Structure 1
Amino acid sequence: MAGAAGRMGRRIIALAAEDARFELAAALEPAGSAALGRDAGELAGIARTGVPVTDTLQGAFDVLIDFSTPAGTAHWLEVCQREGRAMVIGTTGHDAALGKGISQAVARIPVLKSANMSVGVNVLLRVVEQLSEVLDATYDVEIVEAHHRFKIDAPSGTALALRDAVQKGRSVLGGPAPTVVHGRQGQTGQRPTGEIGMHALRMGDTVGEHTVYFGNLGETIHVGHSAHSRDTFAAGALRAAAWLSGRGAGLYDMKDVLFGNA
């Protein structure tokens, strides 16, 4: 578990301890982390596991689940390639260099990458794509997401995935690809047709909320998802890891896990 001291890492460790399919092989944090040396179970608020938090990966493992940082993802991706092991990537905010690194890695190892491991969110992504195949450019699209005040990237990876779902669905209808605007301010003028508006809210301890609006001059359709607990994402990450173990090299996502696309 990379990012063991983070909010997601702690919940994944806790849920894995309750599931006989999983054994925690390592709890990983970067050098200098205050969590180094602590027992992973105690860190997660459960009984001791006998696995100390370290900054190096030693011993055998099947799948590495990564909820660290983009820099951490790049490092652990190299380790997984060297060891020939599978990797579940839950970090967001990747730059072009990391994207290229992942693209190269999947020729050697199985990698499952998803901005959101929730079952509900991945169902939402499919619904949004299907709606976008039917609701043409006369329907304005707005995507609104809300997260806790500690989130370091905006818009969220899930919001970007929802944007991609809209664009993919609209491509079926033909015409120019939708443009994207991030927030609005001042004298913006009339809203252009074929625009996707994206808005990021940051407040308190909000776990994660996403809503997509489709509105024309006569009606509005809105579909969304609210996460009430990080356990939603942690359970999805474990489900992804169990599914990925033993797969061949390649790039996968949660749609493959849930809908059998691979």
Structure 2
Amino acid sequence: MLKIVLSGANGRMGKVLQTLIAKEPELTVVAGIDRNPSQADFPIYQSITELKESADVVIDFSHYTAVPELLTYCSREKLPIVVATTGLDETALEKIKTASQHTAVFFSANMSLGINLLAKAIKTITAPLEEQFNVEIIEKHHNQKKDAPSGTALLLADAVNEAVKEPKKYIYGRHGNDLENPLSELGIHAVRGGTIPGEHTVLYAGPDEIIELTHTALSRDIFANGALKAAKYISTKSTGLYDMEKLIDGK
């Protein structure tokens, strides 16, 4: 039985995870962490420092401000953690690296298997197009999403830059009357509206031809399922920094 602590238990993803975990006999939620605790089938604490239950792994879909405390606790207690929260700043990203020296940390800007396979595909096709094609990324999300651009858009942009000889400069949206739009720039554009779970398009525009690679999330289940795969994966690890690429490759 894998004993899970859900950080962000009362959020949208926390609720989805509860539903999916309830369908898997080998998984159980022993506690939740949420800044707005409420009644549940398990205790919910405002801070992980209040945790009394024994656990095997933490799954975090919370708020970027909550991540440093989670990492400090998990690092001290040698408790594996899946960080699925987006909008992390450089300080939090450095803290992830530090924590991975003491416990197993799984971090991905997107927990979808499809998105991460898309990132791998991008690394394959970008290099031959570098000298003639502009690259732009358009991402769409629901109107409740606070951060822009999405962590996934940056994940895909980084995949592009890993494949090119000369890293591209990220341009967040475009405006102005005298733009040159050189190949050295990579435009990232954020759309927010309605209840869109998430859509990402990587557009390659060259002389007389266009290539578009699009991933559309039809529900939040895909992110929760990915997080559960990650939790199972790192629950047997002692230390180290892991991501979806390593999970896919079985490393």
TM (norm. structure 1) is 0.90
Q: For the residues of structure 2 that align with 1:208 and 1:163, how far apart are their CA atoms?
A: 16
Pick the aligned partner of 2:196 from 196, 206, 227.
206
Q: Partner amino acid for 1:96?
A: E
Query: Any conservation in 1 of the 2:135–2:183 contact (CA below 8 Å)?
Result: no
Query: Any conservation in 1 of the 2:113–2:226 contact (CA below 8 Å)?
Result: yes
Which structure dedicates a bigger proportion of its chain to strand? 2
Give the equivalent residue in structure 2 for 1:53: 44
Q: Partner amino acid for 2:86?
A: T
Q: What per-residue deviation string (whole Å, max 9, x for no partner) do you get for residues 108-133 of structure 1?
A: 00000011111111111101111112
Q: Partner amino acid for 1:8?
A: M
Q: What per-residue deviation string (whole Å, max 9, x for no partner) do you get for residues 151-201 of structure 1?
A: 11100000000000000011xxx3x32112111112133321221111000
TM (norm. structure 2) is 0.94
Query: Any conservation in 1 of the 2:106–2:243 contact (CA below 8 Å)?
Result: yes
Give the equivalent residue in structure 1 for 2:235: 245
Give the equivalent residue in structure 2 for 1:124: 118
Pick the aligned partner of 1:258 from 240, 248, 251.
248
3-state DSSP class of the match of 2:27?
A: coil
| Residue 218 (structure 1) shift | 1.8
Give the equivalent residue in structure 2 for 1:64: 58
Query: Any conservation in 1 of the 2:33–2:45 contact (CA below 8 Å)?
Result: yes
Query: Any conservation in 2 of the 1:138–1:194 contact (CA below 8 Å)?
Result: no
| Residue 52 (structure 1) shift | 2.8
Query: Any conservation in 2 of the 1:137–1:194 contact (CA below 8 Å)?
Result: no
Q: How does 1:149-160 map to 2 (within 5 A)?
A: 149-160=143-154
Number of aligned positions between the proteins:
243
Q: CA RMSD in A?
A: 1.1
2:89 is the counterpart of 1:99: no
Pick the aligned partner of 2:9 from 4, 9, 20.
4
Q: Partner amino acid for 1:10?
A: K
Give the equivalent residue in structure 1 for 2:142: 148
Which stretches in structure 1 are left out of the alignment for 5+ residues? 40-49
| Residue 11 (structure 1) shift | 0.4
Q: For the residues of structure 1 that align with 2:182 and 2:130, how far apart are their CA atoms?
A: 14
Query: Any conservation in 2 of the 1:122–1:254 contact (CA below 8 Å)?
Result: yes
Give the equivalent residue in structure 2 for 1:178: 168
Q: For the residues of structure 2 that align with 1:208 and 1:237, how far apart are their CA atoms?
A: 16
| Residue 137 (structure 1) shift | 2.8
Pick the aligned partner of 2:206 from 211, 216, 231.
216
Q: What per-residue deviation string (whole Å, max 9, x for no partner) do you get for residues 89-115 of structure 1?
A: 001111121122111111000000011
Pick the aligned partner of 1:187 from 174, 177, 196.
177
Query: Any conservation in 2 of the 1:182–1:199 contact (CA below 8 Å)?
Result: yes
| Residue 82 (structure 1) shift | 1.9
3-state DSSP class of the match of 1:68?
A: coil
Q: For the residues of structure 2 that align with 1:155 and 1:189, how far apart are their CA atoms?
A: 21
| Residue 211 (structure 1) shift | 0.3
